[in-house]
Amino acid sequence: MSVDAATVRRIAHLARIAVEDDEVERLKGELNAILDFVEQLSEVDVAGIEPMTSVTPMVMKMRQDVVTDGGIPELVVRNAPASQDNFFLVPKVVE
């Protein structure tokens, strides 16, 4: 894939970036270089490679997925205009 001057201007317009006419050729070269690199990446065989979370081997820290009230319900509703029994009170909107 190759980018031409009109495409550079269109990308600049969509990104709301002011691009002078003398910058178009330089940006065209940079965008083409980026697209060439991405094309090279697609040639790499990654079959059988596990996704990584880091470049160094590590185990993700896990915690129990449990629902709690946070232990501070009074603080949560403290700034509410109206509350009752640590719940927010809202006006009835459906009859």
Residue 12 forms part of a structural domain: yes
Q: Which domain holds residue 32?
A: 5-42
Q: pLDDT: is 66 or 14 the higher one?
A: 14
Please report, in angstroms and rounded to a whole number, the separation of the first and last CA atoms in the chain. 59
Whole-structure pTM value = 0.51
Residue 51 forms part of a structural domain: no
State what percent of residues in the chain have pLDDT above 90: 56
Number of domains into which the chain is organized: 1
Dump pLDDT digits (tens) for 28-73: 999 999 999 999 988 999 898 888 878 888 787 888 888 876 889 8
- pLDDT score, position 67: 85
Q: pLDDT: is 88 or 61 the higher one?
A: 88
Report phi then psi at 91, rounded to 5: -65, 145
- pLDDT score, position 69: 66
